[in-house]
C-alpha cells in the first residue's frame, strides 16, 4: 500500500470494487439467490472502504513503511472478515438433510476479500480474483446441472385395499431405481383404504424435480386414490 493516497487512487479502488461486485452480484440475482446485486456490492464496498481507511491512517502513526505489518491498523480488515462470517452464517439454512446457502455465504466472503484487495491497492490481484470468481460461479454452475445429485424424497399414497397393495407399491419403487430408506403403512378397514408413507433415496439432475418416470405409471393405476411426492 502506498503511504500517501490521492483522491484519484481512492476513486479508482472504489469504482473497481463496485464493478467487480456488481458483476458477481448480478450473476447471483439472475439465478434468484438471496444475496443479490445490492447485498454483494454493499459487502464488497464496506471491505474496500475499510482498507482505504487503514491505508489512509498509516500516514498518521509516525512509523516507517517497513513496520506496517505489525500496526494495529491491520486489525480493521480482519474485523471486517470476521463480521462477514456472521452474515454468511445467517445465509445458511438446514432443511432436513439438505443444507442451503453455502454458496451464498462463500460468495459474500469472497467478495469481501476482493474488496479488501481493491481497497488496499492490489488492483491486479483484485481483478484476477473477480474474474476467477465469476468463472467459478458461472462455469461450474453449468457443470453442476449436468451432474446427478443424491436426493432423499418422500412419497405418500392412499389406495383401496381390494385394488392395490403395499407389495405393488414397493415393487414399483424398486423398478424406478429408488432405494427405500423407510416406510410405514396404516389401514382403515372401515373405509377399505390403506395409507402408505416412505422415504426413498435416488439420484437426479440438479434441476430435475417431480416424480421419476418409472414410478409415475404405478401412481396412475386403478385403485390409487391420491398421492403426494416431495423432493
- Write the CB contacts of 214 (distance below 8 Å, at least 6 apart in sequence): 172, 175, 176, 177, 178
Task: Please state the φ and ψ torsions of residue 37, each to the nearest 5 degrees.
Answer: -60, -55
Q: How many CA atoms lie within 13 A of 153 on its CB side?
A: 22
Written as tens digits, the pLDDT of the chain (231 aa) is 566 778 888 899 999 999 999 998 888 877 777 777 888 888 899 889 888 888 777 765 555 555 555 556 667 777 777 777 777 676 666 666 566 778 888 888 889 889 988 988 889 999 999 999 999 888 887 787 777 778 888 889 898 888 888 888 888 888 888 888 888 888 888 888 889 998 988 888 777 778 887 788 878 888 888 888 887
Q: Do 57 and 163 belong to one domain?
A: no
Domain span including residue 23: 7-144
Last residue of a domain, one of 109, 124, 144: 144
Q: Residue 2: inside a domain, yes or no?
A: no
Closest CA to 60 of 7, 6, 4, 11: 4
Q: How far apart are CA 19 and CA 205, in angstroms?
A: 33
Q: How many CB atoms neighbour CB 227 within 10 A?
A: 18
**Strand-pair category, 193-205 with 98-100:** unpaired
Residues 6+ apart with CB under 8 A from 219: 157, 211, 227
**Overall domain count for the chain:** 2
pTM of the model: 0.65
Same domain, 52 and 113: yes
Largest CA distance in the chain: 91
pLDDT in tens, 5-45: 788 888 999 999 999 999 988 888 777 777 778 888 888 99
User: Domain with 162 in it: what CATH number?
Assistant: 3.30.70.260
* Full DSSP string of 183-216: EEEEEETTTTEEEEEEEEEEEEETT--S--HHHH
d(CA 176, CA 183): 16
Amino acid at each position: 500500500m502506498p503511504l500517501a493516497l490521492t483522491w484519484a487512487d481512492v476513486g479508482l479502488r472504489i469504482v473497481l470494487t463496485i464493478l467487480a461486485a456488481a458483476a458477481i452480484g448480478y450473476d447471483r440475482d439472475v439465478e434468484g439467490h438471496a444475496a443479490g446485486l445490492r447485498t454483494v456490492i454493499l459487502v464488497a464496498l464496506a471491505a474496500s472502504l475499510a482498507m482505504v481507511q487503514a491505508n489512509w491512517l498509516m500516514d498518521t502513526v509516525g512509523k516507517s513503511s517497513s513496520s506496517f505489518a505489525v500496526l494495529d491498523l491491520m486489525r480493521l480488515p480482519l474485523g471486517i472478515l470476521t463480521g462477514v462470517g456472521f452474515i454468511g452464517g445467517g445465509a445458511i439454512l438446514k432443511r432436513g438433510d439438505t443444507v442451503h446457502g453455502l454458496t451464498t455465504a462463500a460468495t459474500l466472503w469472497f467478495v469481501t476479500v476482493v474488496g479488501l484487495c481493491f481497497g488496499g491497492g492490489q488492483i491486479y490481484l483484485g481483478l484476477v480474483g473477480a474474474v476467477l470468481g465469476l468463472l467459478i460461479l458461472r462455469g461450474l454452475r453449468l457443470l453442476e446441472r449436468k451432474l446427478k445429485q443424491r436426493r432423499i424424497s418422500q412419497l405418500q399414497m392412499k389406495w383401496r385395499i381390494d385394488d392395490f397393495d403395499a407389495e405393488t407399491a414397493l415393487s414399483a419403487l424398486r423398478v424406478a431405481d429408488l432405494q427405500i430408506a423407510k416406510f410405514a403403512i396404516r389401514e382403515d378397514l372401515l373405509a377399505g383404504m390403506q395409507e402408505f408413507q416412505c422415504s426413498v433415496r435416488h439420484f437426479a439432475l440438479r434441476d430435475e424435480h417431480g416424480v421419476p418416470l418409472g414410478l409415475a405409471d404405478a401412481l396412475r393405476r386403478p385403485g390409487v386414490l391420491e398421492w403426494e411426492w416431495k423432493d
